[in-house]
Amino acid sequence: MRQGKQVSARAPSATPRKHAVRIIGGLWKRSKLPVADKPGLRPTPDRVRETLFNWLGQDLTGWRCVDAFAGSGALGFEAASRGAKEVTLVEQDAALVAQLQKIKDHLKADAAGVQITLRRGDGIAALAGWPAAQPQDGLDLVFLDPPFDAQLFEPALKAAARVVKPGACIYLEAPSEWTAEQLAPLGLAPHRHLKAGAVHAHLLRRE
């Protein structure tokens, strides 16, 4: 304990904080996704996801997507709900992976014919091991929402730019705006941007 700093004597809560986000559109519209009480876990707010999928055009039928820092799974499950052909959720935390599996089972994704793959591991490493995109073949969308204090943004963008096909999209959440000048060396260009509180949401395109 640091000297000179008083510590509250209030007892900790007997039950963990409960929180949930909801799927906004598609097959599982209004379904709630539980959010674990873990430090640094910031599920993309409903209104930001609604704006993002307005940018993307609502219908993702046939798309191949990777949520490289899945966390609560809000982005990946939203994409699957809106018709994505393949969605891969990558998460390093074992407890979160277990929760993602419970959500997938609860949504009955397999019975609905929705291909959702869960991978435990590092998101950047998963993208690095993905086949490089070809002119007519590659991922259509990669979600990047890494921990804000981990300095993973540039390596994550580099890894994602390698696997999305030309003209495809990368969604990035970051604590500051990424400019066209910063993105150009990575072969990316800004397409849409919004600021919501402390979060900058970007939709980028591979040039």
SS (H, E, C) 138-153: CEEEEEECCCCCCCCH
Q: Print pLDDT tens along the chain (207 aa).
A: 333 433 333 333 333 445 899 999 999 999 999 998 887 788 888 899 999 999 999 899 999 999 999 999 999 999 999 999 999 999 999 999 999 999 999 999 999 999 999 999 999 999 999 999 987 789 999 999 999 888 899 999 999 999 999 999 999 999 999 999 999 999 999 999 999 999 999 999 998
What local confidence, expressed as pLDDT, does residue 18 receive?
A: 52
Q: Residue 204, exposed/middle/buried by CB under 10 A (0-12, 13-18, 19+)? A: buried
Q: What residue ranges do the domains of the chain occupy?
A: 19-206
Element holding 187 (H helix, E strand): none
- Cβ atoms of residues 145 and 173 within 8 Å: yes
Closest to 42 measured CA to CA, from 156, 160, 148:
148
Entry pTM? 0.89
The domain at 19-206 falls in which architecture? 3-Layer(aba) Sandwich (3.40)
Element holding 164 (H helix, E strand): strand 164-174
